[in-house]
Amino acid sequence: MKMPISKSQRGFSLLEMLVASSIGLIAIMAMTQLFNMGMNATLTVTQRADTQQNMRAAVELMTKDISMAGAGLPSGGLQLANADGSSKVACNQTGTCYVTADTYPLSGSGVANYMYGILPGFGNGVQSAAIIAAAPAAVNDSITSIYCDYNFPLNNFAFTFPSGTQATVGAATTITAGDPTNILAAGGLTVGDLVLFTVSTPGTGKTAQGTSYAQTAAAVGEITGIPNNTTINFASADALNFNQTGANSLASVAAAVTAAGAETTACRLYAVTYFLQVPPAGGTLQTPRLMRQVNGLAAVPVADGIINLQFSYDVINNTLGTISANQSNPIGAGLSPALIQKVNIWVLGESITQAGKKSQSMYLASSISTRNMSFCNSYSDQTTACQ
């Protein structure tokens, strides 16, 4: 038998292999590059969306508090007792103060220790004056908004004052179904809360509803103890230094209550301060964050990744009768915080997901009208224009 003779088959040459490999490699690299660009774009969009959502939540919470500034306070603010020095703001019960210049400011007439609906905090917006290296601006501000809490109506209760350091709570007169029936109900009073007491006595004038009333005394006290639901203690040496003696103290309110026909009303004040905090080294998260602190309670985080916080104010100039716009430090410019008409906010956020050097940062700005602050009519005589 003859064996079949196989014929050799011609294969790829080395040159053809190199050309084919090069084309394939180029195609793979192009696909990899497109995939990488798509992943980067997805990461960027995700980071910016998360950062924006984080900042919007923070700005909306600040907007709520700032828009309420001045509600329930006497027109033009309230002079506080200062026999033992100025009262403190943004401090907790352990003595930690979260911002510098942590006392209530002077009034326009130079009177110390004055409570306004808004306390601008120019340049003191970072706890312990920590440095935020990622922030493009060296200035960080704080802001304190003060207003009555109408969600827990203390005016439903009757108050008497056995002394200037204690208040007795009478039975609640429920006005609306669901109103609290005692001060320790859910959402009620706690140690560290501020309470504004106002005493009014009958005036000589008449209104459509009856006798007019004139305010004779008003004072703010810090709760130091609530032994039971009928007693509130306002002991001296409180953390915020509100419970002082002398003029504009709770003792003056206790004295005014004894007048014939006197009526006492009360509301819990919210003194809400916003500032930035840099968590200490060793924690799981080192990015700066926005903090919210109320009355004499501990501060709580609001939003992570906030690296810059700035405020400016549109303030009525009572001398000129015009608006002084975009004042970053109205007190330093000689303007009264009682006449702030609008607050402008700038917040700079940085993405929490760093992804190497690809972190994203963006600004969010907003403006808030302070509808509860003092009103000035620039068309009236300047000496009586502001209320």
Element housing 163 (H / E)? strand 159-163
Q: What confidence score (pLDDT) does residue 280 get?
A: 74
- Residue 77 phi/psi, 5-degree rounding, is 100, -175
For residues 308 and 139, give the distance between their C-alpha atoms in angstroms, rounded to a whole number. 8
Span 118-124, average pLDDT: 94
Shortest CA distance to 213 belongs to which of 221, 202, 222? Answer: 202
CA-angle at 69, arms to 306 and 194, nearest 5°: 95
Count other Cβ atoms within 10 Å, centred on residue 93.
16
pLDDT at 3 over 70: no
Q: What confidence score (pLDDT) does residue 138 get?
A: 72
pLDDT at 226 over 70: yes
- Residue 177 phi/psi, 5-degree rounding, is -60, 135
pLDDT > 70 fraction of the chain, expressed in percent and rounded? 82
Least confident of 53-62, 122-131, 166-175, 374-383: 374-383
Span 73-85, average pLDDT: 89
pLDDT at 380 over 60: no
Most confident of 27-36, 176-185, 224-233, 369-378: 224-233
Tokens representing residue 120 in the block:
């601008």
Span 187-200, average pLDDT: 93
Most confident of 99-108, 128-137, 146-155, 354-363: 146-155
Q: What confidence score (pLDDT) does residue 353 get?
A: 64
For residue 384, what pLDDT band results from cuts at 50, 70 and 90?
very low
Give the alpha-carbon dihedral of 46, 48, 51, 52, to 10 degrees. -120
For residues 297 and 77, give the distance between their C-alpha atoms in angstroms, rounded to a whole number. 23
For residue 368, what pLDDT band results from cuts at 50, 70 and 90?
very high
CB 93 within 8 A of CB 242: no
Evaluate the CA torsion angle 294, 299, 301, 307 in order and state its sign: positive
Span 236-250, average pLDDT: 93
Average pLDDT score, the chain: 84
Q: What confidence score (pLDDT) does residue 206 get?
A: 47
For residue 377, what pLDDT band results from cuts at 50, 70 and 90?
low
For residue 10, what pLDDT band results from cuts at 50, 70 and 90?
low
Shortest CA distance to 298 belongs to which of 91, 8, 48, 134? Answer: 91
Q: What confidence score (pLDDT) does residue 181 get?
A: 85
Interstrand relation of 263-277 and 114-115 (parallel, antiparallel or unpaired): unpaired
More confident of the two residues 22 and 203: 22
Least confident of 122-136, 166-180, 262-276: 166-180
Show Cβ contacts of residue 294 under 8 Å, excluding neighbours closer than 6 positions: 270, 271, 272, 273
For residue 293, what pLDDT band results from cuts at 50, 70 and 90?
very high
Count other Cβ atoms within 10 Å, centred on residue 136.
10
Span 209-215, average pLDDT: 62
Q: Which amino acid, one-letter code, is at 203?
A: G
Shortest CA distance to 91 belongs to which of 240, 196, 194? Answer: 240
pLDDT 10s digits, 294-353: 999 999 999 988 999 999 999 998 777 788 999 999 999 989 999 999 999 999 988 876
Which residues are 343's β-sheet partners?
313, 368
CB 321 within 8 A of CB 220: no
